[in-house]
Amino acid sequence: MSARIKIMIACYVACVLAVAAQGQFTISGHPAVLDSLTQTYLCSVPESAFGHDFTSIINFDDTTSIVEVNGKGVARSGDKVTFDSIAGNRLYPVKFASDSDTITRHITFTYLPIVELNGSYAKTYRKGDIVFIKPDGNAQIMHAKIKWRGATTNTGDKHKRNYHIKFIDEAGEKMDRQLFEGMRSDNNWLLDAGQTDLARIRNHVGMQLWQDFATKPYYADLEPRVRTGVSSEMVELFLNGQYMGFYSMGEAIDRKQLRLRKYDEATLDVYGQLWKTTKWTSLVYMSQVTEDYPPFSDTWNGYEVKYPELDDVAPTDWTVMHDAIDFVANSSNDDFVAHVDEYFDLPVLRDFQVLIHTLLGVDNSGKNVYWACYDRTASTMLTITPWDLDATVGQYWNNSSNPNPAVLPEREFTTSQRLFRRLNSLNPNGYKIAVIKRYHQLRQDILSEDNLIARYVGCIEYLQRCGATAREEARWSGDTDIQGATLDFEHEKAYIADWIHRRLLYLDENTFKYEPILGDVNSDGTVNGIDLNLLINQVLGKDEPIPEADLNSDGTVNGIDLNLLINILLGLE
């Protein structure tokens, strides 16, 4: 028997993972996976099959005795059966012969990929197997190291956990996998449960939104393939034969995603660096530097080293992060205004601020972000990437009440993160006005009310059509993970749509209300000689057009605008 055939047989056996002698079968080559909790099979088929009759061939081995499927008798493996009008969460009976009677179970269909985790997992990596079944029927069995992921989502009483997966080969060595078209090939993947999110999709949609408008970081000319967000796809998960609901499965933020310059393995010289914030501390707030950084630890009072890892480069060097925090905490106002753009990637921070204000990311202004330095030998500038956007769009981080007053759409989002407080109060290089203008620019398309609602509600409706939301409600409604709350996706659609409508109205009229100052050509909040010089260059055609230079709004920039600005500076207007 060839190695290829052996592998195919192993994949098949692992994919079906059925219990007892009445369970191993495929539907036109698509493995049917049994949920031991409900005795219901889930089978992934193409989305195009939904809404139509699905005529298929039932195949099973000698240990399985199927006698009837969807009311049609089955005489032998290979018989054809029609499943009429495939629809989300519609159940079709399947009968198995037993010693004295028949056993009836049910089959239902999805168009999401099915992922099976097999093994015992904890807070540290343990080896296990993964079966990945695509809607086209293709199934793979893969080896991996797997652990629980998260902080508050990872305590001992949690049930629907997040998982961190690192694929390995049979020898235990790192092995890259490409699971979804358009995503990278890598060994590092995440399963996000949306554990505290009553819609389960806020992080998935929020990360897509960020990638659609985020300005590329300062080093993008050197690394055009840089991505400051991650992609994910929705899947349905089984853990040791038990259905665990739907998850978003996707990439991780790391050096490769951010295209940071690699350290030198021969000399251990460090270039690119990456840190993640994990809890709220004075260091994460950047309000004070409370202690010296620990060179032989991968954590420092709310920060965690992500690259290079301490196992590869020790001691680790916190200098870039330390100096940036110290600058924010202790620099004078004049020094901050003059030099903040040397420490931080302001165009990306501008977009980040628009994101967390629009979505009201109460858990993301300091905690749940990544800070990255591309190459510290060339520049110590830090750029930012958001993470864990579950507590957004009217969702509080622990479901203590719903809605929690902290996430009401009419709330002004204030943060104790000193960097953003100083940026907005001191307004270096017109930063505050730049945030407001960026928001209004994005409101024309990506942040329009219709587009935002369509993203969130559309994602839920996509999951409803294949029955995933009904299965999620049946599995997790009332669980202690969500403080005993009822999962109700129809309610969540209405709640999210209303929240977005009210949030945008509030931001338009309050936080980001834009009232241009006549004569403020560079939008820094003041009218002075800098604006005059800019306007002269506009009249002479030396610079790219600036809308604010057209002071009298007649569609042209000319001497009339120049005279008007001079009068404003002289106090005559």
The CB-side HSE value for 110 (13 A sphere, CA atoms) comes to 29
User: What is the spatial distance between Cα 373 and Cα 383, in angstroms, rounded to a whole number?
Assistant: 7
Using 50, 70 and 90 to split pLDDT, how confident is the model at 197?
very high
Report the b/e string of 243-254 with b at 16+ CB within 10 A. bbbbbbbbbbbb
Would the pLDDT of 15 be above 50?
no
More confident residue, 159 or 397: 159
CA 545 to chain centre: 37
For residues 418-426, give the mean pLDDT.
Answer: 95
User: Sign of dihedral through CA atoms 400, 405, 407, 409?
Assistant: positive
CA 390 to chain centre: 8
Q: Which residue has the tokens 């995440």?
A: 190
User: What is the spatial distance between Cα 72 and Cα 81, in angstroms, rounded to a whole number?
Assistant: 7
Assigned token pair, 297:
């630890």
User: What is the spatial distance between Cα 246 and Cα 499, in angstroms, rounded to a whole number?
Assistant: 24
User: What is the spatial distance between Cα 62 and Cα 1, in angstroms, rounded to a whole number?
Assistant: 20
Mean pLDDT lowest for which of 10-19, 41-50, 297-306, 544-553? 10-19
Averaged pLDDT of the chain: 90
Element (H, E) at 8: helix 3-16
* DSSP letter (8 states) at residue 285: H
The pLDDT value given to residue 12: 40
User: What is the spatial distance between Cα 228 and Cα 253, in angstroms, rounded to a whole number?
Assistant: 8
User: What is the spatial distance between Cα 83 and Cα 108, in angstroms, rounded to a whole number?
Assistant: 10
- Residues 293-335 have pLDDT tens digits of 899 999 999 999 999 999 899 999 999 999 999 999 999 999 9
Report the b/e string of 145-180 with b at 16+ CB within 10 A. bbbbbbeebeeeebebbbbbbbbbeeeeeebebebb
- Residues 353-379 have pLDDT tens digits of 999 999 999 889 889 999 999 999 999
The pLDDT value given to residue 571: 78
More confident residue, 23 or 202: 202
- Residues 499-535 have pLDDT tens digits of 999 999 999 999 998 777 788 888 777 888 888 888 8
Assigned token pair, 112:
């999401």
User: Sign of dihedral through CA atoms 420, 421, 424, 428?
Assistant: negative
Using 50, 70 and 90 to split pLDDT, how confident is the model at 455?
very high
